[in-house]
A and B are shown apart, each in its own frame.
Chain A
Amino acid sequence: MSVKLTEEMLTALPDARGHFGAFGGRFVSETLMDSLVTLEREYLRLKKDPEFQATFDKDLADYVGRPSPLYFAERLTRETGGAQIWLKREDLNHTGAHKINNTIGQALLASFLGKKRIIAETGAGQHGVATATVCARLGLECHVFMGAEDVQRQSLNVYRMKLLGAQVHAVTSGSRTLKDAMNDAMRDWVTYVDETFYIIGTVAGPHPYPLLVRDFQSVIGRETRRQALEKAGKLPDALVACVGGGSNAIGMFYPFLTDESVQLYGVEAGGLGIETGQHAAPLCAGRPGVLHGNRTYLMEDDNGQIASTHSISAGLDYPGVGPEHSWLKDIGRANYVSVTDDEALEAFRMLTLVEGIMPALETAHAVAYAVKLAATMEKDQMVVINISGRGDKDIHTVAQLDGIEL
């Protein structure tokens, strides 16, 4: 049952303790609390500071290359035979993904707070690259934590980060993927809390991170809204975005939450299929719990131990999700669905061949679902896919599946 959201309801969330309904919050060890309280206070102040916002907007325009285009995928639309499919081209941003919107904002925050040492976690390496990039630009020391398995499957991005002057720490504990990278980033943070700013890459983690990352990424939805009205003369009927932690999805959805006519679809990683248990789809098949500083839907066993996840895409291979998505699921405002590895791969190839746009494997999940969805809709309707990142980094993975050694 969907609730009609109003602007008043949205501005009241998260509440003073960082809660989105039953989700969110600040579940961290005491050592980090003061730092988070300070960050919250300073962010809420800077959010209203015209100078901070002007600097952020200028960087998005001149350094990231915004606005990113809203592109009508005419041939894909024809092949699909349903609703018009439009692509929000976040893949055209500097560094090739939406991640830089957030790292620009957080690095700016770090500068205002006088922190010179930056840490970040990364899965696919896109957030790591985006963080290393802004650190290079601002002359900040940068440490990126990355699961050892992801270091293997995303070696191109590892090298990019090193070229950008970052130190990449391969994390060998646990499942050696994104969640373990986040564990080690938090261990580093607690150790060097006084001098360190942690640039979290998604809308998860302790308050105020889900709030500030959403704010920085909302430029995606604001632009999409304006561009849709300009180019199509109306709001889209549906928005589709992939969801790992969920930052590109929330950035796209947030400015449309009060527009009841706009359907929202978050696409999780179905891996080998939800029924196999080998997936990374907490909203589709998990339950609420507490991990990495927030209460949210998680993949866990009956004893509350975090389950290992599987996805062909390193960026979606995470057992949790941003708390605002958990809330949007529970109030019925957004729909959360999943797409398997195989479907995502097929979509990767299709978009490459039909439109000459090679999406990241994460993004390919959104493409796969959007094509299915568009086929069920009327020809005068409009679907926008958030093309959150480009696929160059995944060429090795795809080639390997084709039995080709590059």
Chain B
Amino acid sequence: MSRIEGVLQTLKGQGRKALIPFITAGDPHPDVTVSLMHTMVNAGVDIIELGVPFSDPMADGPVIQLACERALKHGTSLRRVLAMVKEFRATDNATPVVLMGYLNPIEAMGYEVFADAAADAGLDGVLTVDLPPEEADDVAPLFAARGLDPIFLIAPTTTDERIRAIADHSSGYVYYVSFNGVTGAARINVEEVAKKVTHIHELTALPVGVGFGIRDAETAAAVGRVSDGVIVGSVLVDTIARNQTDIEKLKRELTDLLNPMREALDSLAS
């Protein structure tokens, strides 16, 4: 059983929901990322999605675009991100880490070289925004052989036929994008999300994480009620943007954002 499956199964046994933060690796600086990851674990998160910065993040809104630019300015390459995962793993053997990003940095590194380095670093999952399952034939066996969970997106526009196909190609969890749009937009409609996630649960046994538009304890709880986990990104990245120089203050603010989300999610269990 993969680390991701283990964590999600334990949570399910406890009737709890996963809190999954997203930050862009290398933002505000590559030297800070690992300690921000530990801070988030201390604030109660279950799985970390680490963004690999890309020059042309087409699926992201301005908040994450700017985070990519900051990270790239400090030379955050995919190799460097994997080194961060390895460093994190040295002192945290429990929290799964998923890389989230675009295909080209992986393609430039070489699929097999990447898969080897990812496994060596202790990475758990890979979510490539612009790689649908149809194009994943080359990477799938490489990931499977190394125990890396391929995580794919499901969108409001995804047909039932595609949901089944996506689930067949996925392990760990599937990521439901809560609305048509880019990251950081405020378009979430909790009722529609509930309907679609319930439907996805009918089509696959995989856990469903929901991301896009979750900004606070209230939206986290509303979405957590129907899903297996919530993914929180832009609001954290925005906090990083506002506290680039004072890292201690940044850690306090991240903790202050995540703690109420954790409490709100856990209050659903009772």
Please report A residues at the B interface, Cβ cutoff 8 Å.
Answer: 17, 25-35, 173-174, 179-180, 183, 186-187, 190-194, 288-293, 295, 298, 300, 302-306
Is the CB of B217 closer than 8 A to any CB of chain A? no
In the assembled complex, which residues on chain B have CB atoms less than 8 Å from the CB atom of A290? 102-104, 107, 130
Within 73-109 of B, Cβ neighbours of A (below 8 Å) are at: 77-79, 102-109
A304: B residues at CB distance < 8 A: 54, 78, 104-109
Residues of B close to A29: CB separation below 8 A: 58-59, 129-130, 153, 155, 177
A187 touches B131 (CB 8 A): no
CA distance A32 to B108 in the complex (A): 24
Partner among B106, B135, B177, B182 whose Cβ is within 8 Å of the Cβ of A26: B135
Q: Are A306 and B104 CB-contacts (below 8 A) given A27-B132, A29-B155, A187-B58?
A: yes
Q: Which label, helix, strand, loop or mixed, suits the secondary structure of the A interface?
A: mixed
A30, B77: Cβ atoms closer than 8 Å: no
Least Cβ distance of A323 to chain B in Å? 13
Are B61 and A187 in contact (CB-based, < 8 A)? yes
B155 and A31 contact, CB distance less than 8 A: yes
Chain B positions 132 through 148: 1 when the CB is less than 8 Å from some CB of chain A, otherwise 0: 10110000000000000
Q: Are B65 and A300 in contact (CB under 8 A)?
A: no
Quick one: closest B residue to A17, CB to CB? B134
Across the interface, name the chain B residue whose C-beta is closest to A307: B55
CA distance A290 to B157 in the complex (A): 23
Query: Does A190 lie within 8 Å of B181, measured CB to CB?
Result: yes
Cα–Cα distance between A187 and B64 once the two chains are bound (Å) = 13
**Partner of B152 from A30, A173, A300 at Cβ < 8 Å:** A30
Question: Closest CB-CB distance, A13 to chain B, in whole Å?
Answer: 17
B-chain residues with CB within 8 Å of residue A35 when the two chains form the complex? 157
The answer to whether B182 touches A190, judged by C-beta atoms less than 8 angstroms apart, is: yes
Contacts of A292 in B (CB 8 A): 56, 58
CB within 8 Å: A-B pair count:
119
Minimal Cβ-Cβ distance residue in A for B185: A191
Chain B nearest CB: distance from A291 CB in Å?
6
Q: Are A305 and B105 in contact (CB under 8 A)?
A: yes
B56, A179: Cβ atoms closer than 8 Å: yes
Query: B89 → chain A, closest Cβ, in Å?
Result: 22
Neighbour of B55 across the interface among A17, A174, A190, A193, CB < 8 A: A174
Assuming the contacts A34-B162, A304-B106, asked whether A193 and B157 have C-beta atoms less than 8 A apart, the reply is yes
Q: Which residues of B contact A32 (CB under 8 A)?
A: 157
Question: Could you list 29 examples of A-B contacts with CB < 8 Å?
Answer: A27-B103, A27-B130, A27-B131, A30-B157, A30-B162, A30-B166, A30-B177, A31-B155, A31-B181, A32-B157, A33-B157, A186-B58, A190-B182, A191-B180, A191-B182, A192-B180, A194-B180, A292-B58, A295-B107, A298-B104, A302-B108, A303-B77, A303-B105, A304-B78, A304-B104, A304-B105, A305-B72, A305-B104, A306-B55
Q: Which residues of B contact A289 (CB under 8 A)?
A: 104, 107-108
> Considering the chains assembled together, what is the distance between the CA atoms of A186 and B157 in angstroms?
16
A289 nearest in chain B by CB position:
B104
CB–CB A291/B104 < 8 A? yes
Residues of chain B within 8 A of A31, CB atoms compared: 153, 155-157, 177, 180-181
What 9 A-B pairs are tightest by C-beta distance, nearest first? A304-B108, A304-B105, A31-B155, A30-B153, A303-B77, A191-B181, A305-B55, A304-B104, A30-B155
Contact assessment for B65 and A173 in the assembled complex, using a CB-CB cutoff below 8 Å: yes
Determine which residue in B61, B155, B158 has the highest number of CB atoms from chain A within 10 A of its CB, and name it. B155
